[in-house]
Chain A
Amino acid sequence: METHLLVSSSPHIRGDDSVNRIMWTVAAALIPACAAAIFYYGAGALTLILMTVACCMGFEAAILAFRRQNPRDAFDGSAAVTGVLLALIMPASSPWYFPVVGSLVAMGLGKHVFGGLGYNIWNPALIARAVLQLAYPSRMNLSGWPQPGLRLPAVHAISGASPDATSQASPLAKEMLQKMMDKFIDRMDTYAGLLVGGLPGSMGETCRLLILVGGIILICLKIVDWRVPVFYILTVFVLVALLPPPEAAKSNSWLSDPIYHCLTGGLMIGAFFMATDMVTTPITRKGRMIFAAGCGLLTVLIRFYTAFPEGVCYAILLMNTATPLIDRFTRPKVFGYVKPPKKDK
C-alpha cells in the first residue's frame, strides 16, 4: 500500500487551461493578420515579425535570469504575444533597430519594471510603440509609410476627392435614410478596401478582416470578452455620429463618417487585441465594459480634437491607467450583502 500520500489543500482537481495555452492561443490568433502583412509587404514583414518576437522572448529571458527567476517563463507565450502585437503596430518600413529597441522597451519598461507578468499597468506593446513614436517621430509618421505592394483596383484615393456629401437636409426622414444609403453604397468599395487591406497603415492595420477573424476565434474560445471590442467599436461609431466633427472634416467628409472611423487606424487591432489584454484591463465584466467605452470616447476625442491623427494607442494607455480605479468602483456586492443599518434614522 502506498505510504507516501500527497497532502495538499482543496480543490484537488483543476481546469486544464493554463497561462501558456492562453498566451500561445492569442499568438496563434494573430497568424492570419501576420499572413496579411506578409502578403502585402513581402518578406520584409516576415523578418520584422520574427525579429520582434525573438527579441521580446530573448530580452524577457535575460531579464528573468537577471531577476533570478525562471528564464523558461519567457516561453510562456506572453512575450511572444507582445512581440507579434508590437510588430503589427510598426510600419513595414521600420529599420532593423525598431524591433530591438521596441522589444527592450516593452519587456523592460513595459513589463518587468512593474514586476513582470501580471503586474504591469500598461500594455507593453503600446508602451513600446509610444516610445518609438516619441523617439523617432519621422519614422513613425503615417505620411511616410509605404503603400502596400498590392492594391485593390476598386479602392478610391481617400485623401483628395471625397464623394459629394449631401448639402441640404431633407425634411423627410425617409429621404434622409435614402441619402444615407446612397452614400453608404457610394463608399462601399472604400470600406471594403479598408477591411481587406491595400491602404497604408502599420503592418497589422492593413487587413482588418483577418484581425476580425482572429478576434472572433478568441471570443469563441472565451479568451477574449466580446464586450470589449463590441463596446469599444460601438462607442466610436456612436460618438463620431453624434459629436460635432472637427474643422478638418469640412474639407474631408470622410472624417465625419462613423463607418470610416471604425475601419481606420489601429481601432480593429486595438479593440480586439490590445483593449482585451487581460493584465492591463479591469477584472470584472462590468469594469471591462466601462473600460471599452472609455477607450472609444478617448479615441474619438483624440482623433477629433487633438493634433494627433490617431488615438487608439493613447486611448488604451490612458484607460490602462484608470483600470485600478474602475476595478475599485465595479466591485460586485458580496452574496447576501445587507446594507448596514443607518444610525441617523
Chain B
Amino acid sequence: MSSLGNLLSGLKSFPGGIHPPDSKELSKSAQVQPFLPPALVRVLMAQHIGAPAKPVVKKKDAVKRGQVVGEAAGFVSACVHSPISGIVKDVEDFPSPVTGRPVASVVIESDGEDAWAEGVNVRQDPMSVEPKRVVELVQKAGVVGMGGATFPTHVKLSPPPNAKIEHVIINGVECEPYLTSDYRLMLDQPDRIVTALRLIMKTVGAPRGHIGVEANKPDAFQALSLAAKGSSDVQVHLLQVKYPQGAEHMLIKALEGREIPWKGGLPSAVGCLVHNAATAIAILDAVEFQRPLIERLVCVTGEGVKIPANLSVRIGTPISAILEQQGLHDGANKVLFGGPMMGLAQASLDTPTMKGVNGILVLRNAARWQRRPCIRCGRCVDACPYRLIPSELSILGEREDWDAAAVANIMECKECGCCTYVCPSKRPIVQLVKFGKSELARKRRAQEKPKK
C-alpha cells in the first residue's frame, strides 16, 4: 500500500529505497520521561568520528555535572563532559560499542547531588550571539551529529571558506523503523527547532531553511509548520515514507534534486548543510544555556521491551540500568544501538549510551539468516539508493577479491542495508561490504608505510 500511496501522494523523495514495516506504534505515543541519573556512569572518550578525546581527570577526582572530563584531540574531535556530579572511580579502557576495540573511558560514581559545574547552564539570547562565538560554544559543548553519524558539529558549522551554503536542512525524517525519539522531540519543541534552524542559518550565512518530515508523522509536520508560520525563510516539507529518506544524500536529493558528489563529497558542494533535529536542539542548548551535551532523548523500544518509552537519558548510562527499569520479555536476545537497519548489535549490557545513540532497540527471538547463492533477481540493484550493484559486491566479497570490489565502487556503499533487506537469498551484503572496506583500509595503510 505504502509504495502506491506514496506514488499518488506526489510527495518528494528519491529513486530506490525500501518500505520496511515502520513498527513505530510501540513507542510512538509514549511521552518523553526523564530517566533518573544512575548511580554509576561510564563516559566513553570516542563517541564521535575523528580523534578520541583525551581524559583530563584521574581516579578520585571530584567532578560536577557538565564539567569537561575529556578534552578534544584536535579540530575534528569533540570534548566530553560528566553527565552527573560525583567522584571519578576509574579511568580505564572499555570495548567500543562501535568497533569493539578498547577506548578510554571515565567511570563516575554519583554523589546524588547532581550539581552543575560553574559557567554552564547560564541563559542568554541565542540570536544575539556572534556566529564565531556560536561555533565556539558548540565546540565547547561537545555537540556531535546525533542522528547516528556523530560527526563533530562545530566542524560542520565551519564550512570551507569557498563553499557557499544556500540551504540549511533540519532532518526530522527519522526513517529507521521503530525509533520515535526525534518524533517526540519535534512534537515537544517545534518552536525551539525552528529557532535552532534560524540560528544555524545565521551562523553559516544561509538564506533558506528547510525541515524535512516523513509523511508518517503528520502531527509533527503540523506542529513544525505552525512554529514556522508566517516566515518566508523557513519551509517545512512532508516527504514520502521510504527508507533511507533520512540519509543526508537522500534528503538533499528529495528536497533540492541535487546529488552530493561521490568519493566523500560534502553537502556544502551542493550548497547544503544538514543537521538532525536532535542535533539542532543540542546546538541551541549549547548557545542559549551554554549547556554541554550530556543528556539526550533515547527511544527504548522493540518487541523485547516490556514498557517501550522515550526517555531523556544522561549520556553514559549503562544499558542495563535502562532495561532493568523498562523490563524485558522472555526471548529478548538482541540489543541494538540505533534502529534495525543500521543499528549496532551490542555484546554486553554494561555498555553505556553515547551521544549518537538515539535508540535502544531490543529484539525478541532474533535469529541468523541462512545464506543462499545470489539468484540475480535484481532486487538489491533496484533498492540501492546509491546505484551500486550490491549482488556483485557480495559475490566479490565472498571471494575476498577486494581490488575488484574497489573497482565496483564498494567505497561508495553507505551501508544503508536496503539491498540486504530485500535480498530473497538473505545474503549478508552489508557485512561483506564492511569487511571489505576494513580490508582495503588495512591494505592501503600497509602500502603507505614503507614509503615513509
Q: Are B334 and A283 in contact (CB under 8 A)?
A: no
- Is the beta-carbon distance between A335 and B249 smaller than 8 angstroms? yes
Tell me if A117 is interfacial: C-beta within 8 Å of chain B: yes
Q: Which of A7-15, A193-201, A245-253 contacts B (4 or more CB under 8 A)?
A: A7-15
The answer to whether B376 and A117 have CB atoms under 8 Å apart is no
Q: How far is the CA of A227 from the CA of B245 in the complex (A)?
A: 27
B383 to chain A, nearest CB (A): 9
On chain A, the residues within 8 Å of B375 by CB distance are 19, 22, 78, 117-118, 278-279
Distance from B233 Cβ to chain A, minimum over Cβ atoms (Å): 28
Once bound together, how far apart are the Cα atoms of A337 and B260, in whole Å?
A: 9
Cβ of B345 within 8 Å of any chain A Cβ, yes or no, is yes
Is B336 a contact of A12 with CB atoms below 8 Å? Answer: yes
A2-B332, A11-B417, A14-B426 are known contacts. Are A278 and B387 too (CB-CB below 8 A)? no
* Beta-carbon nearest neighbor of A119 in chain B: B373
Give the residue among A2, A225, A284 with the most B Cβ atoms within 10 A.
A2
Do B387 and A333 have beta carbons less than 8 Å apart?
yes
Among A15, A279, A283, A335, the residue within 8 A (CB) of B262 is A335
Docked Cα-Cα span, A332 to B392, in Å, equals 13
Asked if A5 is an interface residue, CB under 8 A from chain B, the answer is yes
Q: How far is the CB of B19 from chain A (nearest CB, A)?
A: 9
Q: Give chain A interface residues in 321-345, CB to chain B under 8 Å.
A: 331-338
Within 8 A of A (CB), among B66-90: none
Question: Are A1's CB and B328's CB within 8 A?
Answer: yes
B344 at the interface (CB under 8 A from A): yes
Q: Is the CB of A9 within 8 A of B422?
A: no
Residue in chain A with minimal CB distance to B391: A283
Docked pose: A5 CA to B430 CA in angstroms = 20
Cβ < 8 Å to A, chain B residues 376-391: 376-378, 381-382, 385-389, 391
**Chain B residues, Cβ within 8 Å of A220:** none
Interface of B is mostly: loop
Q: Does B347 contact A (CB under 8 A)?
A: yes
Interface size class of A (residues with CB under 8 A): 35 or more
A contact residues around B420 at 8 Å (CB): 10-11, 14
Known A6-B345, A278-B376: A336·B369 in contact at CB below 8 Å: no
Kindly identify which residue among B260, B324, B340, B344 contacts A13, using a CB–CB cutoff of 8 Å: B340
B residues 5-26 near A (Cβ < 8 Å) are 18, 20
Contact of B323 with A336 in the complex, beta carbons under 8 Å: no
- Closest Cβ–Cβ distance, residue B401 to chain A (whole Å): 16
Asked if B345 and A334 make an inter-chain contact with CB atoms under 8 angstroms apart, the answer reads no
Distance of A8 Cα from B366 Cα, bound (Å): 10
**Does residue A285 face the partner (Cβ distance < 8 Å to B)?**
yes
**Bound CA span A78–B422, Å:** 19
Given A10-B343, A11-B421: A334 and B262 within 8 A (CB)?
Answer: yes
A68 on the interface (CB 8 Å rule)? Answer: no
Contact of B430 among A2, A10, A13, A21 (CB under 8 A): A10
Of A5, A279, A336, the contact of B345 (CB 8 Å cutoff): A5
In the complex, chain B residues 255-292 whose Cβ is within 8 Å of any chain A Cβ: 259-262, 265
What 1/0 mask marks residues of chain B from 411 to 423 whose CB sits below 8 Å from any chain A CB? Answer: 0100101001111
Given contacts A7-B347, A17-B422, contact A335 B333 (CB under 8 A): no
Q: Cα distance A10–B434 when bound, in Å?
A: 10
Q: Which residues of A have CB within 8 Å of B324? A: 1
Q: Does B368 contact A (CB under 8 A)?
A: yes
The interface residues of chain B lying within 8 Å CB-to-CB of A332 are 381, 387, 389
In the complex, chain B residues whose CB is within 8 Å of the CB of A73? 372
Q: Quick check: A11 and B341 within 8 Å, CB to CB?
A: yes
Q: Does A18 contact B (CB under 8 A)?
A: yes
Q: How far is the CB of B302 from chain A (nearest CB, A)?
A: 10
B150 CB to nearest chain A CB (Å): 16
A2 to B327, CA, bound (A): 11
Q: Is the CB of A1 within 8 A of B386?
A: no
Given contacts A10-B341, A12-B366, contact A5 B333 (CB under 8 A): yes
Picked from B345, B386, B424, the residue with its CB within 8 Å of the CB of A335 is B386
Q: How far is the CB of A125 from chain B (nearest CB, A)?
A: 15
Q: Is A116 an interface residue (CB 8 A)?
A: yes
Q: Name the contact of B385 in the complex, choosing from A11, A333, A335 (C-beta under 8 A).
A: A335
Within A252-294, the residues touching B (CB, 8 Å) are 278-285, 288
Would you list which residues of chain A between 4 and 39 have a CB under 8 Å from chain B? 4-15, 17-19, 21-22
The answer to whether A336 and B344 touch (CB under 8 A), given A13-B177, A19-B425, is no
Measured in the bound complex, the distance between the Cα atoms of B427 and A17 in whole Å is: 12
Provided the pairs A118-B373, A279-B376, A335-B262 are in contact, do residues A12 and B334 lie with their beta carbons within 8 angstroms? yes
Residues in A whose Cβ lies below 8 Å from that of B385? 335
Q: How far is the CB of B389 from chain A (nearest CB, A)?
A: 7
Picked from B260, B349, B421, the residue with its CB within 8 Å of the CB of A14 is B421
Q: Which residues of A contact B (CB under 8 A)?
A: 1-2, 4-15, 17-19, 21-22, 73, 76, 78, 115-119, 225, 278-285, 288, 331-338
Beyond A14-B426, A335-B259, 7 extra complex contacts between A and B, CB < 8 Å: A2-B332, A11-B342, A12-B343, A13-B20, A13-B177, A15-B422, A280-B376
Per CB-CB distance, the 8 closest pairs between chain A and chain B, nearest first, are: A11-B417, A118-B373, A9-B431, A336-B262, A335-B386, A332-B387, A336-B259, A13-B340
B contact set with A: CB distance below 8 Å: 18, 20, 177, 249, 259-262, 265, 320, 323-324, 328, 332-336, 340-349, 361, 363, 366-369, 372-378, 381-382, 385-389, 391, 409, 412, 415, 417, 420-426, 428, 430-431, 434
Would you mind naming 15 contact pairs between A and B with Cβ atoms under 8 Å apart? A6-B345, A8-B334, A10-B344, A10-B345, A12-B334, A22-B375, A117-B373, A118-B425, A281-B376, A283-B381, A285-B378, A332-B387, A334-B409, A334-B412, A336-B262
